[in-house]
Each structure stands twice: as C-alpha cells, then as structure tokens.
Amino acid sequence: MIKIPQRILGEALTFSAREHPSKTAIIIKTKEYTYSSLKESSEKLAEHLVFAGIKKGDRVAVYMNNSWQSIVSIYGISMAGAAFLVINPQTRADKLQYILNDSGAKILISESILSNELSQALVGSTDIHEVIITGDNNRITRIPGLKLEDFENIITENNPVIILPEIIPNDLAALIYTSGSTGFPKGVMMTHQSMVFTSWSLVEYLRLSEEDRIILLLPLAFDYGLYQLLMAITIGGSLIVEQSFTFQTSVYKQIDLFKPTVFPGVPTIYAMMIAANKKTGLSFDCIKKVTNTAAALPVEFIPDLKKIFPEALIFKMYGLTECKRVCYLEPELVDIKPDSVGKAIPGTEVFLLSPEGNPVSPGEKGILHIRGPHVMLGYWHKEELSKEMLRPGKLPGEIILCSNDWFKMDDEGFLYFLGRTDDIIKTRGEKVSPAEIENIIYKIEGIKEVAVIGIPDEIMGESIIAYVTTHGKLQIGEKEIQKECMSRLELFMVPQRIIFLDEMPKSSNSKIDKKELKKMYLENE
C-alpha cells in the first residue's frame, strides 16, 4: 500500500490512529486515552462545528487549561476546516475579549472553572454565537442570543452525519497570539503547510520516533507547548500532559510512573530542578532528550542538567512565534560551542544583514533573517505590522522573516544570539508588551509616568522592571502596584520590581529614555 504523505494537520491524527488505534496517545494524571478515542472525539466535535455553521477559514477559540478537552478541541477545529486559536487560561477578561473580537472567532470552547473571566469577556464580544463548555455550564452568565453547548454531550452523542470540508495545505490552520509593541496581542497566521513542515523538521532534528513519550509542562497557548502535542501525534508517540510545573513533586511522580523520554523545558523550570538536585540528588535516567527554548539556556546549567538527565541529549534552540523555530545546536556540540544556538532547522535557511540590508561578514553583528516554508503569512488584520517583519525574497512572491534580533555567525555558520532590537520583553518563554503593563499602571490614581523595561536575567531571559513617577507625595508602594497588576494581567507579566523616581530621563524629543533607564538600573545593581 502506498503511504500518503501528511499535508494537513488533522491527517497526522488520522494516520497515527490507523497505524496504532489502541496505543495510548494522551496521558493526563492517571488516565490514558487511545489514538482511536482521540480521533473519534475530534471528528464528533468537527461535525458539530460544521453543523453549527462553521465554514472553512472561520476561527474557533479555545480558552482552557491543558486537558483532554483542549487537545480534542485543537484537532476537532482543524478537521472542521476552521483555524484554531488557543488562549492562555491566565488571560484576563479585557484581553480575552480583545482577542475574541480581533480574531472574529464565531465559537468559543472553554471550561466552567474559567467562568469569571469568560462571562465578563462575552458581554462585549462581537462575533461569538456559541460557547461550548466542559464542566458546569450554569456558572456561565446567560447572554441573549448566545447558545451554550455541553462539550461532553457533543463528543458522546450520535450526531447527524456531516460531510467535513476539503482542506488544502494553503488553508489557514491557526492564529497564534503573541504580544505586540502597541500593547495589543497580534495573531500570527499559520497555514497547514507551514505547521506540518515545521512539525516534521522538529521531529527530524530531535530524532524522535513512535517510541518516544513527551511530557508537556507548558501551556498549549505557547507555541513551544503546542508543538509538543503536534509532534507526539505526528510520530505516533505519547504525550504526558501536565498543566504546569507549579507542583514539582506531582510532576516528578508522573515522570517516575510514565517514564517520558523527552523533556521540553525553559530555564525557569531547569533552575528549580537544579536546586532540587543539589538538595536531594534528583535524577531521571528515563529521559533521552532535553530541549530548551524561550530564554537562552545558561552555559552554567549544562553540567547540572547532565546530572539530572544522565542519559539525555541536550538540545539548545532559538525561535520566535512568527516561524516557530529558527535554529538548534546538535547536542554533541553543547560542550564544544556552549554559547551557540546552532544552525538553521532542516529545510530552512538563515542569514545576517546590517540595518541597511547588506550582508555581514563572519563574526560581525547583524540582524537575523529567516527563509523557509515555516514563515508566517503575516499578522491577522495588521498589514503595517506585517510589513515590519516580512520582507520580499529573491524569488517572486517569496517572503523573508526579519527577526529584529541581533546575532553573529562564526566561520562555520553557527549562530550566537546578542540581543533584541525591538521593545518586546521576553520573559519565562513569553513575549510581553511593555505598553500593556504601562497601561494598567497608568490607571492607578496618582500615577504620573510609567516606563517598563526588560533587564537580562539568567533564569527568566529578562526580568520586568517598572519605573514610576507620581503626582506629588502619593502614598502608594511597590506592593500595591504589583497587586493591581496581578489583578489585571497574567502572572508572568507582573513586574518583579517597581522603582519610584522624582523625574523620568527624557530624550531630545521629550520621550522617556528607556535606554537611560536600563543604564541607570545596571549601574545601581
């Protein structure tokens, strides 16, 4: 029998379910779900979405914690021909409402535990006509004209036979929302072709096979987390799902019980594990591959990671949401080129240009540009922002991604990250807009000026520092401002420090000089 190559996202599940129907695809806590059950549940959800009026190219949002239902939702939406967008469950009502309205999502899939933020967001949503809820949907505020459906009923009942739409690789598969310099998130448009290509490129260089079990500790809203799912299903492996790394002991028990072979993490996770190793000798010899992205992995971590994962290959990587992954370092070179993030992932090309657009010589500083099928189509409904990141390629109609990050390349073609050119802060694996935090602090009565900056941090990538001036002798302290931020923002966006100034440093055009603030901070630390 001729083996058909994968062309669209949902085919990976179809193919793996055909090859391994009774194999465990997903493990959550102590419950295991087979490939056949994942395929059947996803198809039932897809049929419901089409019956509910979803057309090819429509957007369907998923606002949930990592769960069986969120995984079924991703594949069900994809099979229905719609584009999915996964929204971080930490997202507050204001931003949730913005994303729903910006994307034009018609159906939202969520869970009752998030009812507070969800109900607030739905009051001002413009396009949502149906909400599918897992859990007690009585906790959701009833809104005239908004239909509520029960998730469990959809995937267990016998639905009318629905013909699912034909999907081609060029169709939109997902919007992945990431913070923007304006303070509003922007949706990265990814086609089936780009996501399938990326999945297989990652599988190739990570040397994955159907024997692998990947543990998921990161939210599916984070592209690093999402691709752990896509890769596991693509190879016919298994995914061990955790909601986060908050409860370390529980995670370690799951590792001992289910023996994952692949451990994707970020420096904040590894820092906590290293601390545990020094106290208790924590070690897992079942792990064969360790991956890191988001913030750079400190060179000093490598010896300790080898103690925690004595049998593992360690992969250092760099990427950005606009193309998922840019480069990786072969694990055999982690000690030979410890400061490098490697070379381009298979099937892609990278090069460095000066700000004027000229090639730079080896060893010289340049802005990283990326060429390949993994590059985004652009930002959803944001043409001007798209033009800032996407440049014409050498071939007609080709687009090149400008990372806006400074790198250098050695004589052998290995890349070294030097810093960012834009204002976005990258902390704990998330992109954070300073403007979004500033807008929240400005709402506090008595605040005069606010400037949020990112300071290099070995563990988090960058720590968030907010400088504040007030009107007169305002009686407000650091804890009060942080508390207000916590009530309005995701936890990873809350500043680590609030510093009060009498006056902000200004540039010649009267703008707050953030470069001077960074200089001041580093000089005083």
Q: pLDDT tens digits, residue range 141-192? A: 788 889 999 999 999 987 777 889 999 999 999 999 987 656 678 999 999 9
Report the pLDDT averaged over residues 421-428. Answer: 82
CA distance 174 to 190: 5
Answer whether 173's CB lies under 8 Å from 192's CB. Answer: yes
Q: pLDDT tens digits, residue range 491-504? A: 999 999 999 998 88
Q: pLDDT tens digits, residue range 268-279? A: 788 889 988 988
> Helices (DSSP H) in 52-187: which residue ranges?
68-79, 93-103, 115-123, 151-156
Domains by residue range for the chain, with CATH: 9-193 (3.40.50.980), 425-524 (3.30.300.30)
Report the pLDDT averaged over residues 323-338. Answer: 95
CA distance 255 to 287: 9
Answer whether 270's CB lies under 8 Å from 460's CB. Answer: no
> Helices (DSSP H) in 183-312: which residue ranges?
192-206, 223-235, 248-258, 267-280, 301-308
Residue at 385: amino acid letter: L
Q: Confidence band (pLDDT; 50, 70, 90) for 238? A: very high
Q: Is the pLDDT of residue 423 over 80?
A: no
Q: Is the pLDDT of residue 507 over 70?
A: no
Q: pLDDT tens digits, residue range 27-48? A: 999 899 999 999 999 999 999 9
Given phi > 0 = left and psi -120 to 50 = alpha, else beta, which region is 368?
beta
Whether pTM exceeds 0.85: yes
Q: What percent of the chain has pLDDT over 90?
A: 73
Q: Is 22 exposed, middle or buried (0-12, 13-18, 19+ CB in 10 A)?
A: exposed
CA distance 406 to 313: 27
